[in-house]
Amino acid sequence: MTKLNALTFAAFSLGFGTAFAHGDEEHAAPRTFDARKVEPTDFGQEGNPKKVTKTIKVDMTDTMRFTPSDVTVKRGETVKFVVHNDGKVLHEMVLGTKEAIAEHAELMKRLPEMGHADANMAHVKPGKSGEIVWQFTKSGEFNFACLQPGHFEAGMVGKVVVK
Ligand SMILES: [Cu+2]
């Protein structure tokens, strides 16, 4: 192998390795924000990562808890949740109204493999971090929960108060 070929081969291997890792990390990949695709919901809407006004770190553990489990934000704020999985199993943070979370949890029981990667959720592999950027456009009390089968039922749920 010539020196050049060896280099090309190395670059190719590296590129392939990276691509493979990305495929594996699909859910953790940052979303591309597109203002035209933002859909308002009862609990706010996808936030513009360039307009984040507050960052909140949230830890998830195999004891089925979020820390903190209670957060307060101001109406209009764009919050970046940096969600870290301290556990050994997959956890996720799904934001929503109390009703939507409960419905979603029921659905997950029937379709545990249901793939989803919407703006209001972050699936986080053990030891990794994920992000949700959300603008709280409506005041009220909302929830976040881990909807991996059994986790919500075990109490893996938190509260967001928007003032
Ligand atoms: Cu969980």
Q: What residues does each domain of the chain span?
A: 1-30, 40-162
Entry pTM = 0.79
pLDDT at 44: 97
- CA–centroid distance, 64 to ligand 1, in Å, is 6
For residue 44, the tally of other CB atoms under 10 A from its CB is 26
Average pLDDT over residues 136-157: 95
pLDDT tens figures, 81-139: 999 999 999 999 999 999 999 888 888 877 766 666 789 999 999 999 999 999 999 99
pLDDT at 125: 96
- CA–centroid distance, 90 to ligand 1, in Å, is 6
pLDDT at 137: 97
pLDDT tens figures, 21-77: 333 344 445 678 999 999 999 999 999 999 999 999 999 999 999 999 999 999 999
- CA–centroid distance, 143 to ligand 1, in Å, is 14
- CA–centroid distance, 29 to ligand 1, in Å, is 19
- CA–centroid distance, 72 to ligand 1, in Å, is 22
Whether domain 40-162 has CATH 3.40.190.80: no
- CA–centroid distance, 129 to ligand 1, in Å, is 13
E strands of the chain, at which residues?
A: 45-46, 54-61, 65-67, 70-73, 78-85, 91-96, 121-124, 129-135, 140-145, 157-162
